[in-house]
Amino acid sequence: MTSDLPNKRFLILCTLRIGDVLLTTPLIRSLRKAYPDSRIGVLVLKGMANVLEGNPDIDEIIESPHRTTLWNRLKEWHGLWRRYTYALSPVSSDRARFYAFLAAPFRLGFINAHTSSFSRRLLTHALLFDDETLHTVPHNLRLLEPLGIPPDGTVVPPTAGGSIPVQLSEKKYAVVHPYPKFTYKSWPLENWVQLVREIQKTSMLVVLTGSHAPDEKAVVREIARLTTALDLSGTLSLAATADLIKKAQFFVGPDTGITHLAAATGIPTLTLFGPTNPVKWGPWPTTQNCAQQPWHHQGSQHQGNVWIIQGSGPCVPCHQEGCDRHAHSKSLCLETLPVNAVLDVIQTLALAS
C-alpha cells in the first residue's frame, strides 16, 4: 500500500477542540518525515486552526463551520470531493468518517461499539477506538500502521515567530493559566491566589494567561487584582501564548488544551488532574517514547518535563463530568487538592535549577 505514497495527498481530519487538534500533530509530523514531498492538509472546525499556526509540516488548513446553510455545506462537500488520496481521522465520529469519504478513496479511521454499519463502511481501513488504556498520541499514531509509516511522537506547538511582550524581555517569569473550559476541571480561585502569592515570594514574576471569554477574563482579572500578577488574558493569540510559555521558567495549569500546549514547548509543566483519565489525556512529555505509556491511572506522577498533580479520593479518576455529572459541576477531588501539593513540585524545580 505504500509503494506510490510519495506523490500522494494526505488529509488529517480532527473535528474536535484545540487540545485534540494539537495532539494530532505527531501524526502529521510522521507523515511529513516519511514522505516530505507529499501534500498534507488538515481539516478542523472553524476557530480551531490557530493551534496549528506556524506548523511547518502542514500545507493547507481547511476550517469547517459548525453550522451553515445547506447551500454552503453542499459547496464545502463539493470542494472536498476526492481532493486527497488518503484521509486519516483520529476522531471516531460519523461526521469525520463522512468527510473522509468525501475527501479520499483510501480512508483510515476509528470506530467504536456504537458505530453504525453504514458509518463503518465509510472507511476503507477501520480500527477500534480505545478510550481507556492508550494515550491519545500513540492511539492516533495507530492510523499509520496500515500505511507502514514509522511513528514520530513529537507534539508540535504553534508559534507566532517567537517574540514575547517587551515588558517580559530579560525577565524570569512563570506562567499560570488558571481557567479550564469546563467547571468540573477547575481549582478554587482562592487556591490560585495563594499559589501565585507563594511564587511571588521567590521574586519570580507571575504571568496570567487566558482567552478573551468574559467569564475567563473575570477570573483572571480577580487573581491579578489580589496578587499584582501580570494579566495577559485576552491579549495574545494562541501561537503568541505558546511563544510566551516557551520562555517561561515553568507553567502551572488545569487539565485543558493550553496545558497540552505548554508541555509541547518543553518547559516544566505542572497540571492539576481530577476526574480525567491521565492514561488517555495526560500532557505528553517532549522526550516521551511513543512506544511506551507515560502515565498511570492513579496518583501524582512525573515524566520528562511534565508533572501531573492528581486530586485524591476513592473514585479518582471517575472519568465523569464532576461529582454532579455535568460540565458546570464541581469536583471534590480538585476542590480539596492542597496548594502545597503544587508548591512542593515548584520547590523541587527550584532546587534542581
pLDDT of residue 4: 53
For residues 286 and 331, the answer to whether their CB atoms sit within 8 Å is: no
Q: Is the pLDDT of residue 3 over 70?
A: no
Exposure of 33 in the CB half-sphere (CA atoms within 13 A) = 14
Confidence of residue 141 (pLDDT cuts 50, 70, 90): very high
Pairing assessment for the beta strands 205-208 and 173-176 based on DSSP bridges: parallel
pLDDT tens by residue, 260-298 = 999 999 999 999 999 999 999 999 999 999 989 999 999
pLDDT score for 5: 54
Decide: helix, strand or coil at residue 144. Answer: helix
Q: How are strands ordered across the β-sheet holding 173-176? A: 230-231, 205-208, 173-176, 251-254, 269-273, 306-310, 301-303
List pLDDT tens digits, range 59-97: 999 999 999 999 999 999 999 999 999 999 999 999 999
Place of cell 501524582: 300
129 residue type, one letter? F
User: What is the pLDDT, as a whole number, of residue 1?
Assistant: 46
Whether the predicted pLDDT of 152 surpasses 60: yes
pLDDT digits (tens, 9 = 90+) for 338-349: 999 999 999 998
Mean pLDDT of 206-218: 96
pLDDT in tens, 322-333: 899 998 899 999
Average pLDDT over residues 199-217: 95
| Band of pLDDT at residue 350, cut at 50, 70 and 90 | confident
What percentage of the chain has pLDDT greater than the value 90? 92
Output the average pLDDT for the chain: 94
Q: Hey, what domains does the chain have and what are their CATH numbers?
A: 5-147 (3.40.50.2000), 166-352 (3.40.50.2000)
Q: What are phi and psi of 287, to 5 degrees?
A: -100, 10
* Cell of residue 349, nine digits: 524545580
Mean pLDDT computed over 295-317: 95
Would you say the pTM of this structure is higher than 0.85?
yes
Side chain identity at residue 214, one-letter code: P
DSSP string for residues in 76-98: HHHHHTT--SEEEE-S-SHHHHH
Asked if 69 and 84 touch (Cβ cutoff 8 Å), the reply is no
Q: What is the mean pLDDT of residues 252-263?
A: 97
Helix (H, G, I), strand (E, B) or coil at 231: strand
Sorting pLDDT into bands at 50, 70 and 90, what band is 352?
confident
Handedness of CA 255, 256, 258, 261 (dihedral sign): positive
What is the mean predicted confidence (pLDDT) over 108-135? 94
| Spatial CA neighbour of 179 closest among 196, 192, 194, 166 | 192
pLDDT of residue 257: 95
State the average pLDDT over residues 180-201.
96
pLDDT at site 258: 97
The neighbour count for residue 330, using CB atoms within 10 Å, is 15
Q: Which helix (H) or strand (E) holds 347?
A: helix 339-352
CA separation, residue 163 to residues 176, 242, 248 (Å): 19, 10, 12
**pLDDT above 70: percentage of residues in the chain:** 98
Report whether 42 contacts 22 (CB < 8 A): no
Mean pLDDT, residues 45-67: 96
Phi, psi dihedral angles at 265 (to 5 degrees): -75, -20
Handedness of CA 247, 267, 173, 254 (dihedral sign): positive
What does the pLDDT read at residue 6? 52
